[in-house]
Amino acid sequence: MNTDDIIKMAFELGNAVANSEEIENLKAKQALVTQDKEAYDLIMRYQDTRNKVDNKSNSGNGLILGKSDEDLLSILEQQINNNALIQDLMQAQQKFDSLMQGIYFAMNQAISGGGGGCSGGCESCGSSCSC
């Protein structure tokens, strides 16, 4: 098989993923969260706070995280956990991630000449195989 054939097959796989139930569901959940001001603002506040805390931790300036930083992150995480739209989005993201892990697993098995099926349980392929 030549390079062009392989690239064509990869493109077809990409189209299949783009048309999958997992990506359609993920996009729908993303749109719902984006349209909901409370959920969207909560995600933005969490990401902003998380970035500030990470930058403070990784700055190498010896800056110590204050209790208020930790408390704010904890509060935001609780609010995220209590927001049904965000939880639906996170669940859709996990399903999409499982699909992608299954694809990577199948490709690695094909490349390495490994047999079909899961080795060591379904966690190895994200439960996307038929075992």
Predicted confidence (pLDDT) per residue in 45-92, tens digit? 999 999 988 887 777 665 666 778 789 999 999 999 999 999 999 999
Count up the domains in the chain and report the number: 1
Nearest-angstrom CA–CA distance, 98 and 127: 7
Q: Is 37 part of a structural domain of the chain?
A: yes
Q: For residue 23, give its domain range.
A: 3-124
| pTM for the model | 0.76
Q: Is 129 part of a structural domain of the chain?
A: no
- The CATH number covering residue 117 comes to 1.20.1500.10
pLDDT band at 123 (very low <50, low <70, confident <90, very high): low
What's residue 118's pLDDT? 55
Q: Counting Cβ atoms within 10 Å, is residue 127 exposed (0-12), middle (13-18) or buried (19+)? A: middle
Residue-wise pLDDT for 22-49, tens only, equals 999 999 999 999 999 999 999 999 999 9
